[in-house]
Amino acid sequence: MATQKKKKNSPLPLATVAVFGAAALVTLVVYDHTPRTESMTVGENSAAVSELPAQTTVTTEGTAMLTTDTTTVLTTTVTEATQPLPPGSVTGISLTFYSCALKVGGNRVMPIVTMTPETATDKSEKWESSDPAVATVDGIGWITPVGAGKCTVKVTSVNNPAVFAEVVVSVTDPNAPTAASTVPIGGTAPAETAAPAAEGTASAESGAPAPAAPTANTTVNGRLEVKDGITYIDGIMIVNKTYSLPASYDPGALTPDADQAFAMLQKAAKLDGLTMNCVSGYRSYQAQDTLYHNYVARDGQAAADRFSARPGHSEHQTGLCLDVNYAGDAFHDTPEAKWLEENSWKYGFIIRYPKGKEDITGFKYESWHIRYVGTDYAKLIHDSGLCLEEYFGIDSKYAE
């Protein structure tokens, strides 16, 4: 309900103005009369305009103007009330990188989004590119280079569209000369044997275009390097029953590349209604030593060697592998296991110990155990139908 206060003995007619959800202070300037101030309080959601003389106009978008036969209200300022955000609203967005340099035909990248606060109830994202002719972006944030130029990729909170973050994308022409980038996959490999860069590892600091993907199968006879006691083939760290790590090798956690790639995998699986959790990631030499000998004491060495690596021979020490959801045979027939087998390669992972390959890998089938090798090699190995040992032409046998 709109109300008005009016001085006594006012010689001119006044109008009551209804403004949606706002309070207005109206200054009336009356020609040939003394100016006076009218204070009007407008009820919330009011829509009525009452007692208005002829030729009256009402606007509610910042300026109210009343014109009558005898009175002109020049302007009034309408101030809308600022409503607090409802509980659970998103108030901030941060990304793992805010710029990247790509090349046409090269790797796509995806920044990891963190929305705050953690208690936000809806963390849905909306992605858009300012110029799809330069780079496109899909619904979960994969940025794909299309043509030379620069554009901005923007992610907005669906819950609170006022909150967003942007990535500046530079794309180079594949025919233009560019400096090759060498990004070893885990550990420090010689530059000439560096593996192709993994998707999703762009950063504001590097901004370097990824090197070309490998085009053919390779073998140990051509590209094996040993540095600081660690074996690499094409920049891929090799750890199995034949090739070991020194006890001193200690990344302390999953490598940043592996960690970020798994976050992408989790995000994609969630869109398919599945939850993927890391139940065992990095494991130190000492921790593996204890675990292995506990299994030997329980099951005997021959049995333990089928499912547990000896210290120095465990991929968990690399910081490049992890066990998903449940490390046991009960995981084999789950929807999550099937999803990993069909999709993990898209995020740079392979099923390290696939079914039917125990005589080659040296370990029983582990549907839950995934190893990060980068997206280029993950696709090649996945498409080949081979395990890692077959693909690189190596064996996996303890020396004894």
CB-neighbour burial class of residue 387 (10 A; exposed 0-12, middle 13-18, buried 19+)? buried
Is 315 within 8 Å of 352 (Cβ atoms)?
yes
* The token pair that represents 244 in the structure block: 């070991």
Give me 281's structure tokens.
């990631």
Instruction: Please give the single-letter amino acid code of residue 366.
Output: E
Burial readout 196-235 (b: 16 or more C-beta within 10 A, e: otherwise): bbbbbbbbeebebbbbebeeeebeeeebbeeeeebbbbbb
**b/e 57-74 (16+ beta carbons within 10 angstroms → b):** eeebeeebebebeebebe
**pLDDT at residue 52, rounded to an integer:** 37
pLDDT at 366: 97
> DSSP 3-state helix, strand, coil percentages of the chain (rounded to 5)?
20, 25, 55
- Which pLDDT does position 176 carry in this prediction? 64
pLDDT score of 248: 94
pLDDT at 153 over 70: yes
Start-to-end C-alpha separation, the chain: 92
For the ranges 34-43, 94-103, 226-235, the maximum mean pLDDT occurs at: 226-235
Residue 84 pLDDT exceeds 70: yes
380 confidence band (pLDDT: 50, 70, 90): very high
Residue 35: per-residue pLDDT: 43
Q: Please give the average per-residue pLDDT across 88-106, as a whole number.
A: 84
List the one residue out of 54, 74, 55 whose CA is nearest residue 64. Answer: 74
Rounded to 10 degrees, what is the CA torsion of 130, 133, 139, 141? Answer: -80
pLDDT of residue 104: 87
Kindly state the average pLDDT of the residues 143-164. 91
pLDDT at 290 over 80: yes
Determine which helix (DSSP H) or strand (DSSP E) holds 383, and give its type and residue range. Answer: helix 375-384
Residue 374 to residues 235, 315, 347, 380, 388, Cα–Cα distance (Å): 10, 15, 7, 10, 13
Count of other CB atoms within 10 angstroms of residue 322: 26
pLDDT at 83: 64
pLDDT band at 64 (very low <50, low <70, confident <90, very high): very low
Residue-wise pLDDT tens digits, 108-151: 888 888 898 988 889 899 999 999 999 999 998 889 999 999 99
Tally the residues of the chain: 400
In tens, the pLDDT along 323-348 reads 999 999 999 999 999 999 999 999 99
Judged by average pLDDT, the poorest of 79-93, 366-380, 385-399 is 79-93
As a whole number, mean pLDDT of residues 210-226 equals 49
pLDDT tens, 189-216? 433 333 333 333 333 333 323 333 333 3
Least confident stretch, 71-75, 155-159, 166-170, 371-375:
71-75
What's the pTM?
0.51
Kindly report the average pLDDT of the chain as a whole number: 75
Sequence-distant (6+) residues with CB within 8 A of 89 are 120, 159, 160
Q: Which amino acid would we find at residue 194?
A: A
Domains 92-178 and 220-392 share a fold: no
Dihedral of CA atoms 108, 100, 347, 137 in degrees, nearest 10, equals -50
Which DSSP symbol is given to 126?
A: E
- Count of CA atoms in the C-beta half-sphere (13 A) of 252: 1
Please check the confidence at residue 356 and state whether its pLDDT lies above 90: yes
Give the pLDDT score at 397.
95
CB 275 within 8 A of CB 324: no
Domain layout of the chain by residue ranges:
1-83, 92-178, 220-392
Range with the poorest average pLDDT among 197-211, 264-278, 301-315: 197-211
φ, ψ of residue 257 in degrees (nearest 5): -65, -45
- Average pLDDT for 214-233: 67
Q: In whole angstroms, what is the distance from residue 154 CA to residue 4 CA?
A: 48
Q: Give the per-residue pLDDT at 95.
A: 82
What pLDDT, on a 0 to 100 scale, did the predictor assign at position 96? 77
User: What percentage of residues in the chain have a pLDDT greater than 70?
Assistant: 68
Tokens 């963190």 sit on residue: 114
Of 153, 125, 151, 260, nearest to 199 by C-alpha is 260
Q: Is the pLDDT of residue 69 over 80?
A: no
What pLDDT band is residue 224 in, cutting at 50, 70 and 90? confident
The CATH number for 220-392, chosen from 3.80.10.10, 3.40.50.720, 3.30.1380.10, 3.20.20.70, is: 3.30.1380.10
The answer to whether 121 and 88 are in contact (CB under 8 A) is yes
Residue with tokens 């300026």: 63
Q: Which amino acid is at 168?
A: V
Q: Assign residue 12 a region: left if phi > 0, alpha if psi is -120 to 50, beta otherwise? A: beta
Does domain 92-178 fall under CATH 2.60.40.1080? My reply is yes
